[in-house]
Amino acid sequence: MTIKIKRTVDTNITPEFAVILGQVALAWVDYGLGDFLVTSLKDGTHRQGSAHKQDRPDEEPGEAGDVRTWRWWNEDKGCHHPKLIRFAKKLQAAGVAVVIHPDWIPGVPHMHFARKGRAFQRV
């Protein structure tokens, strides 16, 4: 298993979030969700104050990531597959902040996950 990261992604993240990223990637594959492709870490367009920290100095690493979910997006119904929703709930139960973003930008549905507090349990 590999963690695939788009070439344009700024990988400046905290060591703690790197552990979360690895755990989420392992859980993603174990859950049978296919390829794990990170589309954003400390970069991209996000709301001000986001845990991505894209709007903060380089010395302040990010603590959030986005992973592509188009494989689990049902365009006809305009929603994600229930399997992805169940996976997100498992992550939340393990202490990860998760938001599943719909297809707001056509062709770009994704799952946002971030460090939540200081605790993280194995998924």
**Packed helices 15-30 and 82-93: angle between N→C axes, nearest 10 degrees:** 140
Q: Which of 35, 28, 39, 38 is nearest to 90 (CA)?
A: 28
Residue 23 has pLDDT above 80, yes or no: yes
pLDDT digits 0-9 by tens, 80-109:
999 999 999 999 999 899 988 886 666 678
Domains of the chain and any CATH numbers: 4-115 (3.30.1380)
Three-class SS state of 100 = strand
Residue 119 has pLDDT above 70, yes or no: no
pLDDT digits 0-9 by tens, 32-73:
999 999 988 877 777 777 767 766 777 888 888 999 898 888
Report pTM.
0.83
Residue 82 φ/ψ, nearest 5 degrees: -55, -30
